[in-house]
């Protein structure tokens, strides 16, 4: 089991930690609150919510609690709806038929639009590329 003999006997002599019912209840509530926040609650906000429910715990205590329970915060990415599609709209014909290697310049252009979040808000970036030379011919 990859444990030395001395470590095993030291573990046997060590007194067992007894968790009080209050601590166990706090652990369960912390886990429920954290999961309700979809794993986005940090230690400060978790402390506020636990204190609001009557638990006496410090920020350091909440950090230790989160580490003990394996509660890791995951940042949510802001979701922006970018497509407003009407299924009644006509769909353009597929003229290329997956042939993306034209034989001369300026025969086939491809374009794309993306959205960038800036300090001023969401902005559009539109690119037009010549598929023969693979150069950007317009923005």
Domain with 117, as residue range(s), is 77-86+96-139
Same-domain pairing of 81 and 139: yes
Same-domain pairing of 61 and 81: no
Ramachandran quadrant class, 132 (left: phi over 0; alpha: psi -120 to 50; beta: rest): alpha
Q: Considering the domain boundaries, does residue 109 fall inside one?
A: yes
* Centroid of chain to Cα 8: 40
To the question of pTM greater than 0.85 for the whole model, the response is no
Same-domain pairing of 16 and 45: yes
Between β-strands 135-138 and 109-118, what pairing exists: parallel, antiparallel or unpaired? unpaired
The pLDDT, as a whole number, for residue 82 is: 67
Same-domain pairing of 53 and 82: no
How many distinct structural domains can be found in the chain?
Answer: 2
pLDDT tens per residue, range 86-110: 778 888 888 888 888 888 999 899 9
């Amino acid at each position: 089991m990859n444990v030395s003999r001395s470590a095993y006997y030291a573990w046997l002599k060590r007194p067992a930690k007894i968790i009080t019912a209050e601590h166990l209840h706090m652990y369960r509530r912390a886990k429920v609150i954290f999961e309700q926040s979809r794993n986005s609650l940090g230690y400060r906000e978790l402390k506020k919510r636990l204190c609001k429910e009557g638990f006496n715990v410090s920020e350091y205590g909440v950090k230790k609690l989160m580490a003990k329970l394996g509660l890791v915060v995951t940042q949510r990415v802001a979701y922006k709806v970018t497509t407003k599609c009407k299924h009644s709209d006509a769909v353009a014909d597929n003229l290329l038929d997956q042939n993306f290697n034209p034989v001369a310049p300026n025969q086939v252009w491809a374009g794309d639009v993306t959205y960038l979040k800036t300090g001023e808000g969401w902005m559009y970036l539109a690119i037009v590329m010549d598929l023969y030379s693979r150069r950007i011919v317009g923005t």
